C-alpha cells in the first residue's frame, strides 16, 4: 500500500529534509515515527530536499507499508509519534506508481522579509531582517526578467548535483504589508539555493545596489558572482508541490 503524506515542519532545528550524518533531518524523524506506528521499517521519499533551516507547509512524501492503517488516518495517528515541530496535515492512499519527487510538475516557495530598523525577536525566526527600506516597485521590475525558461547558473549554489540549471519560473509575486514583504516563487523545478539567491538579488535591487534591468544581464552571464547574496534559510518555506491532475 502506497501512501502520500503532506507534511508541515519548522526547519529551525533540522539539517534539512534529507537524512544526514551531521545532524537530524526531517526525513529521519518521520521515518522513525512511521516505523514506530506501523511496527516495521519505513523509508520515506520527499518531493523536495529542503536545506538546513528551511521550513515547509506542504512537503509531499510517499512511502509503502503493509496497510495496517487506512491511508487517510495518518494525520491523527502520527501525532503521538512526532515532535511538536513536525506534523502530517493530510494523507491518502495512492497508486503504487506514484513518486513524490519524480511526479512533481512544479513547486511554490515563499520567502519572508521583515523590514525593521530594530531587531524583532518574536518574528525573526521565519524572516530575513532587513534594516533599511526596500524599493518594492524596483524589485517587481527586476522579477519580470526572471520569469520564463533560463539557464539559472547565476542562482545555483555550490555543491549542486543537478546536471544543468535550466529551469522555468512561472510566477513571482511580491506583496508588501506594513513592515513585511512576502516573495512567492513558482516554477517547474529549482537548483540548490536558487530561491534564496534569487531573493538576495531582489533585495540588492530593492536596496539600490543593482538596477532592475541589470538582472537580465546577470542571468545571461550565468555567473554566480554577478548575482546577489544568498538569503538566510530561515525566511524560506516550501508551500506547495504541484502534480498532474488525474
Give the C-alpha separation, 199 to 182, whole Å.
10
- Note the pTM of the prediction, 2 decimals: 0.95
Residue 162 is classified by DSSP as -
What's the pLDDT at 163?
85
51 is annotated as an active-site residue: yes
pLDDT score recorded for residue 214: 96
Rounded CA gap, 49 and 121, in Å? 28
Write down the catalytic residue from 51, 64, 85, 103: 51
Residue 104 makes CB contacts below 8 A (sequence gap 6+) with 47, 48, 60, 189, 241, 242, 243
Cβ atoms of 105 and 85 closer than 8 Å: no
Which residues are CB-neighbours of 221 under 8 A, at least 6 positions away? Answer: 154
Domains 2-94 and 105-243 share a fold: yes
Q: Which residues pair with 61 in a beta bridge?
A: 5, 46
| Structural domain boundaries in the chain | 2-94, 105-243
Q: What pLDDT is attached to residue 228?
A: 96
Please tell me the predicted confidence (pLDDT) of residue 161: 75
CB 156 within 8 A of CB 193: yes
* Residue where the block lists cell 554566480: 224
CATH of domain 105-243: 3.30.70.660
Burial class (CB in 10 A: 0-12, 13-18, 19+), 82: buried
Residue 241 CA to residue 246 CA, distance in Å, equals 15
Strands (DSSP E) found in 191-235: none
CA distance 131 to 52: 24
Element (H, E) at 1: none
Sequential pLDDT tens for the chain (246 residues): 999 999 999 999 999 999 988 899 999 999 999 999 999 999 999 999 899 999 999 999 999 998 889 999 999 999 999 999 999 999 999 999 999 999 999 999 999 999 999 989 989 899 999 999 999 999 999 999 999 999 999 999 887 778 899 999 999 999 999 999 999 999 999 999 999 999 999 999 999 999 999 999 999 999 999 999 999 999 999 999 999 875
According to DSSP, the β-strands at 148-151 and 104-115 are unpaired
Which residue's C-alpha cell is 545596489? 209
> Which top CATH class is 2-94?
alpha beta
Cβ atoms 8, 87 nearer than 8 A = yes
Q: What does the block give as the cell for 61? A: 512524501
Q: What is the DSSP string of 172-186?
A: EEEEEETTEEEEEEE
Cβ neighbour number for residue 44 with a 10 Å cutoff: 23
Contacts of 57 (CB under 8 A, 6+ apart): 8, 237, 238, 239, 240
Amino acid at each position: 500500500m502506497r501512501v502520500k503524506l503532506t507534511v508541515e515542519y519548522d526547519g529551525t532545528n533540522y539539517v534539512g529534509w534529507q537524512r544526514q550524518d551531521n545532524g537530524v533531518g526531517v526525513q529521519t524523524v518521520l521515518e522513525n515515527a512511521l516505523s514506530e506506528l506501523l511496527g516495521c521499517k519505513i523509508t520515506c521519499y520527499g518531493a523536495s530536499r529542503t536545506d538546513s533551516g528551511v521550513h515547509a507547509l506542504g512537503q509531499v512524501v510517499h512511502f509503502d507499508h503493509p496497510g495496517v492503517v487506512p491511508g487517510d488516518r495518518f494525520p491523527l495517528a502520527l501525532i503521538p509519534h512526532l515532535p511538536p515541530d513536525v506534523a502530517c496535515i493530510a494523507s491518502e492512499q495512492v497508486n503504487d506508481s506514484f513518486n513524490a519527487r519524480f511526479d512533481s510538475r512544479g513547486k511554490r516557495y515563499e520567502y519572508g522579509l521583515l523590514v525593521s530598523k530594530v531587531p524583532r525577536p518574536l518574528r525573526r525566526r521565519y524572516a530575513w531582517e532587513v534594516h533599511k527600506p526596500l524599493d518594492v516597485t524596483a524589485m517587481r521590475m527586476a522579477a519580470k526578467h526572471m520569469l520564463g525558461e533560463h539557464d539559472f547558473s547565476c542562482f545555483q549554489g555550490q555543491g549542486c548535483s543537478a546536471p544543468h540549471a535550466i529551469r522555468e519560473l512561472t510566477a513571482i509575486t511580491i506583496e508588501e504589508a506594513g513592515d513585511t514583504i512576502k516573495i512567492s516563487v513558482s516554477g517547474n523545478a529549482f537548483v540548490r539555493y536558487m530561491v534564496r539567491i534569487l531573493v538576495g538579488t531582489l533585495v540588492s535591487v530593492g536596496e539600490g545596489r543593482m538596477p532592475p534591468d541589470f538582472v537580465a544581464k546577470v542571468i545571461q552571464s550565468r555567473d554566480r558572482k554577478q548575482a546577489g547574496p544568498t538569503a538566510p534559510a530561515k525566511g524560506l518555506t516550501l508551500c506547495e508541490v504541484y502534480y498532474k491532475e488525474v
